[in-house]
Structure 1
Amino acid sequence: MAHSSATAQGVFPVSITVEFTGGLELLFGNERKHKVILPAQLEDGSRPNISYLLKYLVNNLMKDQRTDMFIMEDNVRPGILVLINDADWELEGEETYELQQGDNIVFVSTLHGG
């Protein structure tokens, strides 16, 4: 029983998969898929959400200095589609969506040269 109550309180870190496609992987060392482990609870007591994940990705995984290619005004740049477990993030609450254990977050650039 102790294990389930610890899980309910969010003691264990949140492990998610983050993927970048459509050219965004170039900003992240040419790696498409990343395993990310986030704290279960942030300093303010809240759970990590997409907004927190965006800052984490820029500060910890992004290899390219051109952060404006991914983030604009603390949100994803226009032209980047975000999928949460294969659903458009607009259906899940966008940047306020609280990340859950095992989530798969995909960032797809819809801006292609040509």
Structure 2
Amino acid sequence: MTDTLKLSIQFGGGAELLFDKIKKREVELPALKKYFPESLKEKWAIRELLVWIKDNLLKERPELFLQGDSVRPGILVLINDADWELFGELDYELQANDTIMFISTLHGG
């Protein structure tokens, strides 16, 4: 068994502007305990993924992507093309080769 977890992370609807305009990234997360030594959990969940994204991918204006320990209202999160609400939102345990998509529904006018 490998210590890393491979995922596809995608940004759309303008969210990609916060990530150097890159819409799709293939990422390899380290073992959870290596990144969060204090964690009592063994598996990555969306909650930890958001911290990792903030630390490693987010380039500007984190307040437009994150609010507290979750995404801002107006950011739609899809897990393998389905609404994250169907999977427990922040508590969803990530699986190898998952595709996590963040779509901003907020637009200026």
TM-score under structure 2 normalisation?
0.89
Partner of 2:101, secondary structure, is strand
Residue 53 (structure 2) pairs with residue 57 (structure 1): yes
Which residue does 1:83 correspond to in 2?
Answer: 78
Unaligned runs of 5+ in 2: none
Residue 30 (structure 2) pairs with residue 39 (structure 1): yes
Larger radius of gyration: 1
Per-residue deviation, 1:35: 1.0
Distance in structure 1 (CA, Å) of the matches to 2:14 and 2:105: 9
Distance in structure 1 (CA, Å) of the matches to 2:14 and 2:32: 32
| Alignment coverage as a number of residue pairs | 104
The one-letter amino acid of 2:66's match is I
Give the 5 Å matches for 1:6-21: 6=1, 11-21=2-12
The one-letter amino acid of 2:24's match is K
Q: Once superposed, what is the RMSD of the aligned Cα atoms?
A: 1.2
